[in-house]
Structure 1
Amino acid sequence: MAVRLRTPADLDACAEALALVHAADRYPVDWPGDPQGWLTPHGLLRAWVAYEDGRVLGHVGLADTPEGPEVTRLFVAPAARGRGLAPRLLATVREAAGTPVLLEVSHEGRAAIALYERLGWRRVRSSRARWLNAAGEPALLHHYVSP
């Protein structure tokens, strides 16, 4: 298993992996009409994929935001979980940024929250999103900073 910079040729495979994540975890909450475009948000500096045998198993991006460098579009395909991919992808982003990075996660993402806290990320605040959670309410977002 390896991690490398994402190329435009990876986008279809990333969208396929994202569809599996969406079916398992409802991430993203609303399936985007253009998943390849969703994987390339405004402010994206770079993105990486975790892959094995030519298959994309995970994805992460580094975005430039007014608050600072931020993790974006992090996911690991359900069949590849438990193999250390998410920590490896997060470390890749942190190393590339050269400074602590931020991320936000929905309160509903309990497994993700547990992972971040286990890795030493610190919750710095919470806020309400402009999008709705599964209950149809503005999602509660927790904001974290890397160690």
Structure 2
Amino acid sequence: MTVTVRLRAATDLEACARLLVEVHRTDGYPVEGVAEPISWLTPGNAVEAWVGEVEGAVVGHALVCAATAADDAARLWLERTAEPLTRVLAFGRLFVGTAGRNHGVGERLVRTAMAYATERDKRLVLDVMDKDRAAIRLYERLGWQHIGMVTHHFGEGRETGAQCYAAPS
């Protein structure tokens, strides 16, 4: 199987939106955003996005955003370091549909984002819901440093536990 990771193009958004709805249906990820998937995939602070393909079909997605003071992982990282917020990027919107699983698509997307941040002398941070155990295992296997736990609030009065990580330097 041919697996590639490339920059996301505007023409990929419909396929990514369909894929996001599929992943939400099968895995409950994300906990929010599937009512308007294209909006969720194109936040105003997005810096770069990639898609993973298997045999030319979009099967995965990842995104980095400029971190804000409201980002839990960024806040925790800044509490630990003297780095300015401008040196931090938030990683997220990582998902791989069933057709892309067990082909290394998720790992390649994460490594691509890590390389992007490193090339720009930025620190990559993220939060991941406690229930997303496979993602947690992937980040830990790739050397991400656990920096704390938070409660993620979503929807009307809903919440779930989340783990925060920083990419290795």
TM over 0.5: yes
1:38-61 alpha-carbon deviations (Å, 9 max, x no partner) = 101121001000113331111000
Residue 160 of structure 2 is aligned with which of 114, 139, 142? 139
More helix per residue: 1 or 2? 2
Larger Rg: 2
Shift of 1:84: 1.0
2:143 corresponds to 1:120: yes
2:131 corresponds to 1:103: no
The alignment's C-alpha RMSD in Å is 1.6
Q: What's the counterpart of residue 84 of structure 1? A: 104
Shift of 1:144: 0.3
Contact 1:50 1:56 in 2 (8 A): yes
Matches within 5 A, 1:1-147: 1-66=3-68, 67=74, 68-98=88-118, 99-131=122-154, 137-147=158-168
State the alpha-carbon separation in 1 of the partners of residues 90 and 142 from structure 2: 16
State the alpha-carbon separation in 2 of the partners of residues 34 and 20 from structure 1: 14
3-state DSSP class of the match of 1:82?
A: coil
Q: Which amino acid aligns with 2:144?
A: W
Aligned pairs, number: 144
Q: Which amino acid aligns with 2:9?
A: T
Following TM superposition, the consecutive aligned residue runs of length 4 or more in structure 1 with deviations greater than 3 angstroms are none
3-state DSSP class of the match of 2:149?
A: strand
Q: Which amino acid aligns with 2:106?
A: A
State the alpha-carbon separation in 1 of the partners of residues 97 and 123 from structure 2: 26
Structure 1 length as normaliser, TM-score? 0.90
Contact 1:22 1:31 in 2 (8 A): no
The share of aligned pairs that are identical, in percent, is 38
- In the alignment, structure 1 segments of 5+ residues that lack a partner are none
